[in-house]
Chains A and B, each alone.
Chain A
């Protein structure tokens, strides 16, 4: 029993470090990708191919002057980014990173918290993340920050409804909220994208809106709002806001990969003749590969599509995605009823 607890703590640390590392290198990846799409060179000074750039950025953030505006609410001002970062890091706990491995007859699962309400936990933590932005933007006592925070929070809560509804159609198929079980089911059956193409599309769009990524990056539309909710922030507090966005992107890619694309499973995995720990290691690698593909899509979209206007954004959320998600549930229910999968 003690063994498992120690293992869980180690796994916690590993997942945390991997998440942070991945997010750090996503900033590098994004800049390289952007430069590639725009026919530029991109960061190339710090280390070979600019590979040390994220570390340089991090250190720079750390050594910059910390500004707290005179008229801001000091504690809330500090609480905002801390909260945002905290919630961004917490979601990784329920994601099954692999099938798990066996050493000396003891089974070690590759999931930190195998709770049966994994999906609800995820949605809950995502909703708490809104507070970070709201607190940060409001306490700055700056008009741009206030507007940015208002936009961000009303955008995030609007798309959360459609996201929840898209997930309901999936839960109808799986019959469980446990992420580990959902992934395991996709081993025996097809990946759920086959049954839920519309649901996935809605979820994908909502994930873009939830992470405040282009084309939904209105909260920080620099041409009208300076920096949005983080206008007044400097040093690592600004770093947290920007960094948490990348962590959110990483986590939502992981969630999409495990909910709709079979998680760590890959086609013909049992025909390879591999057993136990080796197969499990390959599965984890495949899972990380799927996450990478999604991250690429996130960045690709950002450097391809222009930004929405605010009313377009709200209309898309409430008048298109929400009815579509409800329609998706209707269709899923009816198909399951008439094909006897009920």
Chain B
């Protein structure tokens, strides 16, 4: 499937490169900023919040992935597994509450 898709993508990219007209000018290839001459480039610092969200995602996603094997074997693990995982999830919720209280997810301000 991946091969079929990759083949399609590469072919189409080549085709569009070959077929389209090529009339390039210096102004045309500038970054688009609503028709005004572009100011500086986009390699500027951006809001730290995005980075914070990414870090939080890594934390939570690891926890979620950790829960998949448990969910698959949920029936075999029985009550013991259930309470163990509830403890783990309780800790996760405390973590989430801490993040919210800390204001890490506040966007307005």
* Residues of A participating in the B interface, judged by any CB pair closer than 8 Å: 12-13, 15-16, 20, 61-72, 78, 82, 85-86, 89-90, 92-93, 112-113, 120, 140-147, 150, 153-154, 157-158, 160-161, 164-165, 168-169, 171-172, 175-177, 226, 231-232, 235-237, 239-240, 310-311, 314-315, 318-319, 322-323, 326, 329-330, 333, 336-337, 342
Instruction: Please give the distance in Å from A222's CB to the nearest CB on chain B.
Output: 12
Say whether B57 contacts A157, CB under 8 Å.
yes
Instruction: Please give the distance in Å from B45's CB to the nearest CB on chain A.
Output: 11
From residue 35 to 62 of chain B, which have CB atoms closer than 8 A to chain A? 38, 41-44, 46-47, 49-50, 53-54, 56-57, 60-61
Please measure, in the bound complex, the distance between the C-alpha atom of A202 and the C-alpha atom of B51, giving whole angstroms: 25
Chain A proximity mask over B3-43: 1 for CB below 8 Å, otherwise 0: 01110111011011101111110101111111000100111
Please measure, in the bound complex, the distance between the C-alpha atom of A289 and the C-alpha atom of B13, giving whole angstroms: 33
Q: With contacts A161-B60, A314-B53 known, is A13 near B4, CB below 8 A?
A: yes
Interchain residue pairs with CB less than 8 A apart (17):
A16-B8, A63-B20, A65-B23, A66-B16, A71-B30, A86-B6, A93-B1, A120-B68, A140-B31, A143-B33, A144-B33, A168-B71, A172-B71, A239-B16, A311-B107, A314-B105, A326-B92
Across the two chains, which residue of chain A brings its CB closest to B31?
Answer: A142
- Hey, which chain B residues are within 8 Å of A311, CB to CB? 106-108
Select which of B12, B29, B61, B89 is within 8 A of A329 by beta carbon: B89
Please measure, in the bound complex, the distance between the C-alpha atom of A165 and the C-alpha atom of B46, giving whole angstroms: 30
- Hey, which chain A residues are within 8 Å of B8, CB to CB? 16, 20, 89
* Residues of B participating in the A interface, judged by any CB pair closer than 8 Å: 1-2, 4-6, 8-10, 12-13, 15-17, 19-24, 26, 28-34, 38, 41-44, 46-47, 49-50, 53-54, 56-57, 60-61, 64-65, 67-68, 71-75, 78-79, 82, 85-86, 89, 92-93, 96, 99-100, 105-108
- Hey, which chain B residues are within 8 Å of A140, CB to CB? 31, 42
- Hey, which chain B residues are within 8 Å of A342, CB to CB? 74-75, 78-79, 82
Say whether A175 contacts B75, CB under 8 Å.
yes
Say whether A154 contacts B9, CB under 8 Å.
no
Say whether A143 contacts B74, CB under 8 Å.
no
- Hey, which chain B residues are within 8 Å of A314, CB to CB? 53, 105, 107
Across the two chains, which residue of chain B brings its CB closest to A16?
Answer: B4
Please measure, in the bound complex, the distance between the C-alpha atom of A67 and the C-alpha atom of B32, giving whole angstroms: 12
Please measure, in the bound complex, the distance between the C-alpha atom of A177 and the C-alpha atom of B96, giving whole angstroms: 27
Please measure, in the bound complex, the distance between the C-alpha atom of A67 and the C-alpha atom of B43, giving whole angstroms: 20
- List 5 additional contacts besides A86-B6, A142-B38; criterion CB under 8 Å: A71-B30, A71-B41, A142-B32, A333-B85, A342-B74
Across the two chains, which residue of chain A brings its CB closest to B3?
Answer: A12
Say whether A161 contacts B57, CB under 8 Å.
yes
Across the two chains, which residue of chain A brings its CB closest to B107?
Answer: A311
Please measure, in the bound complex, the distance between the C-alpha atom of A20 and the C-alpha atom of B4, giving whole angstroms: 12
- Hey, which chain B residues are within 8 Å of A147, CB to CB? 46
Say whether A67 contacts B29, CB under 8 Å.
yes
Select which of A68, A141, A231 is within 8 A of B43 by beta carbon: A141
Instruction: Please give the distance in Å from A192's CB to the nearest CB on chain B.
Output: 14
